[in-house]
């Protein structure tokens, strides 16, 4: 599959462990040099990329490798219901990050601040032959930073790339007729493979929302599939932060409910 570094199976997702308290998220790392030297690429390189344009950062045919062991879905900084406009602390690339990913970030970070904004992230993703709407980019930035500052650092940038690679693999697995779309039943299977069970009513709402034809095709394309996954994943994670016993039932204050839902509406 061209365009993204290969991550390990089920990277970024997984069904919750049975009858086990949900671990709270850890805090962000202390400020560090975002361009600190990184280790050599981890593991065996993935299948070759499509040849990138000459002006892209990953020149020379280098293929980004798999993410380091233990990598997974990002742990948002701070408390579960902190300010959505809290400052994003500096981060560094995880050990073993492929140099081509580092170079891609550095090219986007033209002012050397250690952060890239939404337009720069959208452009960086397009260098891997992926085009996403600004709303999808904003959702990516929110879920990988837990803030609405619309900036992203090296650690989060790396996680975005590997998670998108995994989601694309899942989309292609369930797009069995290679139409470039998945229908309602295929979406249900795709979400189940990510550890999410949604009712038929919720499934119909998702397809209606993300079907570009306004519900006529009853199917969604890849870019909208990513936005759908981000929304289901994000809301599920927020719910799980309160549902520590996996009972499927929680109590929200009005403030917490608004802070949970609004970031997905204003992305």
Query: Mean pLDDT, consecutive 10-residue segments, the chain of 267 residues?
Result: 48 43 38 43 35 42 46 43 59 89 91 92 84 91 88 93 91 92 93 92 93 84 93 91 90 91 83
Q: Are 189 and 124 in contact (CB under 8 A)?
A: no
Specify the 3-state DSSP secondary structure of 151: strand
Provide CB contacts within 8 A for 42, sequence distance 6+.
65, 66, 67, 68, 69, 96
Tokens 């452009």 -> residue: 123
Strand 151-152 and strand 116-117: the pairing is: antiparallel
Question: Would you state the pLDDT for residue 84?
Answer: 53
Return the domain boundaries, the chain: 99-265
Q: Which fold has domain 99-265?
A: Recoverin; domain 1 (1.10.238)
Torsion of the alpha carbons at 212, 218, 223 and 228, rounded to the nearest 10? 110
Provide φ and ψ at 192, rounded to 5°.
-60, -40
Beta bridge partners of 152: 116
Flag whether the pTM goes above 0.75: no
Specify the 3-state DSSP secondary structure of 130: coil
Beta bridge partners of 183: 219
């Amino acid at each position: 599959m061209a365009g993204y570094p290969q991550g390990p199976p089920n990277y970024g997702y997984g069904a919750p462990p049975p009858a086990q308290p949900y671990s709270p998220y850890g805090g962000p790392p202390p400020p560090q040099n975002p361009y600190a030297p990184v280790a050599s690429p981890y593991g065996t390189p993935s299948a070759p990329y499509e040849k990138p344009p000459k002006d892209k950062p990953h020149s020379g045919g280098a293929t980004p490798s798999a993410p380091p062991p233990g990598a997974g879905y990002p742990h948002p900084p701070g408390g579960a219901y902190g300010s959505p406009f809290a400052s994003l602390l500096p981060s560094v690339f995880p050990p073993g990050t492929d140099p081509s990913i580092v170079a891609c970030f550095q090219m986007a970070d033209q002012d050397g601040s250690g952060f890239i904004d939404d337009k720069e992230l959208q452009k960086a993703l397009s260098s891997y032959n992926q085009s996403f709407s600004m709303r999808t980019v904003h959702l990516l930035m929110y879920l990988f930073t837990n803030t609405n500052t619309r900036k992203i650092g090296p650690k989060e940038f790396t996680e975005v790339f590997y998670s998108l690679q995994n989601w694309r693999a899942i989309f292609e697995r369930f797009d069995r007729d290679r139409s470039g779309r998945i229908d309602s039943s295929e979406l249900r299977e795709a979400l189940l493979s990510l550890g999410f069970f949604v009712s038929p009513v919720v499934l119909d709402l998702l397809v209606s929302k993300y079907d570009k034809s306004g519900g006529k095709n009853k199917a969604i394309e890849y870019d909208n599939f990513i936005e759908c996954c981000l929304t289901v994943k994000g809301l599920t994670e927020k719910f799980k932060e309160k549902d520590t016993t996996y009972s499927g039932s929680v109590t929200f204050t009005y403030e917490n409910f608004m802070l949970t839902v609004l970031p997905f509406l204003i992305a």
